[in-house]
């Protein structure tokens, strides 16, 4: 039986490079349409952030998440919905008093970061299991907060996608799994190439893969020019893949991408490597996603 590969499309992120792209999805309608186009291109999972429609800046607004999710569900698409919970985790020390959050700080209590998950009950939501330097900001996810979030996500019956940016993040995730805070099988995403975190190299991917629980369902992505090399490496190591405008703006050098075109290219690579792309129903079976 051929290797089965799940393709995730991260259609819009939380960073500010959207201004570099002439057709970046910003509004709820644009984001939902991108999810549907990615599904048609072969993605089984749509990973979703939302943005202020007026400014394009990332947002945690429940109404925006609600509109995107409802548009996708109203379309009748079978794409699996994966909502981010990363909003509310950034800390920037104040220049005068570094104990206090300065401009750019978004820290929230753990359950406040899950309000949209409570209401919308997506198939999947992210759980970023570590603290690290995220560009010029600190991405803060303390052990105590993560345990609260993991337990609440579990009680909601939503599948957590455990995002790891460093090898140590995997070790903490394993401790939460051992404590029964994450249902089996655990779902991991190896996030590679983010500035000041784990680089997108074959050696690092191999190392992080070796630290995962034996029964983990896992995937990996690389940002920018590492996006498609990591697609090939992840498949070669038995993993799933993620592409999308959140991670990379270009299809090739100087050629702007769309989410659908990025998915189409990833699908070609996966198939050239002899693996099969799975449909959302099969992806849900593999990941152990509960029906709501």
**Residue 60: its H or E element:** none
Nearby residues of 189 by Cβ (< 8 Å), 6 or more positions away = 8, 126, 161, 162, 163, 164, 218, 219, 220, 221, 242
How confident is the model at residue 84, as a pLDDT? 98
How confident is the model at residue 248, as a pLDDT? 96
How confident is the model at residue 16, as a pLDDT? 82
The domain segmentation of the chain, as residue ranges, is: 4-287
How confident is the model at residue 292, as a pLDDT? 55
How confident is the model at residue 157, as a pLDDT? 97
Determine the straight-line distance between the first and last CA of the chain, rounded to whole angstroms.
30
DSSP state of 184: S
Per-residue pLDDT of the chain (292 residues; tens, 9 = 90+): 789 999 999 999 988 888 899 999 999 999 999 999 999 999 999 999 999 999 999 999 999 999 999 999 999 999 999 999 999 999 999 999 999 999 999 999 999 999 999 999 999 999 999 999 988 889 999 999 999 999 999 999 999 999 999 999 999 999 999 999 999 999 999 999 999 999 999 999 999 999 999 999 999 999 999 999 999 999 999 999 999 999 999 999 899 999 999 999 999 999 999 999 999 999 999 999 977 5
How confident is the model at residue 194, as a pLDDT? 93
Q: What is the pTM of this model?
A: 0.96
Cα(35)–Cα(44) distance, integer angstroms? 10
Tally: H helices and E strands in the chain: 9, 17
From the list 65, 39, 43, 200, the residue with the least C-alpha distance to 125 is 65
Q: What own/partner pairs with CB < 8 Å and gap ≥ 24 does 61-65 have?
A: 62/115, 62/116, 62/119, 64/28, 65/116, 65/120
Query: How many C-beta atoms surround the C-beta of residue 102 within 10 A?
Result: 13
How confident is the model at residue 259, as a pLDDT? 98
What's domain 4-287's superfamily in CATH? Aldolase class I (3.20.20.70)
């Amino acid at each position: 039986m051929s290797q089965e590969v799940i393709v995730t499309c991260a259609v819009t992120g939380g960073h500010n490079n959207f201004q570099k792209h002439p057709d970046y999805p910003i509004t709820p309608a644009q984001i939902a349409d991108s999810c549907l186009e990615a599904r048609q291109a072969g993605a089984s999972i749509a990973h979703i952030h939302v943005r202020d429609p007026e400014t394009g800046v990332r947002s945690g607004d429940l109404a925006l998440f609600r509109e995107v999710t409802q548009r996708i569900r109203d379309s009748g698409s079978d794409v699996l919905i994966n909502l981010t919970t990363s909003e509310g985790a950034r800390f920037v020390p104040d220049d005068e008093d570094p104990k206090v959050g300065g401009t750019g700080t978004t820290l929230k209590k753990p359950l406040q970061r899950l309000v949209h998950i409570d209401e919308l009950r997506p198939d999947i939501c992210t759980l970023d299991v570590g603290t690290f330097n995220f560009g010029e900001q600190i991405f803060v996810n303390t052990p105590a907060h993560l345990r609260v979030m993991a337990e609440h996500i579990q009680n909601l019956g939503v599948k957590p996608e455990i995002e790891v940016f460093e090898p140590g993040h995997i070790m903490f995730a394993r401790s939460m799994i051992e404590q029964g805070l994450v249902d089996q099988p655990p779902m991991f995403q190896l996030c590679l190439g983010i500035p000041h975190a784990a680089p997108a190299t074959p050696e690092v991917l191999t190392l992080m893969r070796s630290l995962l629980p034996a029964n983990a369902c896992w995937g990996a992505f690389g940002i920018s020019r590492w996006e498609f090399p990591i697609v090939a490496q992840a498949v070669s190591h038995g993993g799933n893949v993620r592409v999308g405008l959140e991670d990379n703006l270009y299809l090739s050098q100087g050629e702007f991408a769309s989410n659908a075109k990025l998915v189409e290219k990833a699908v070609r690579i996966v198939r050239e490597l002899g693996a099969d792309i799975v449909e959302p129903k099969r992806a849900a079976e593999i990941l152990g996603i509960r029906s709501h």
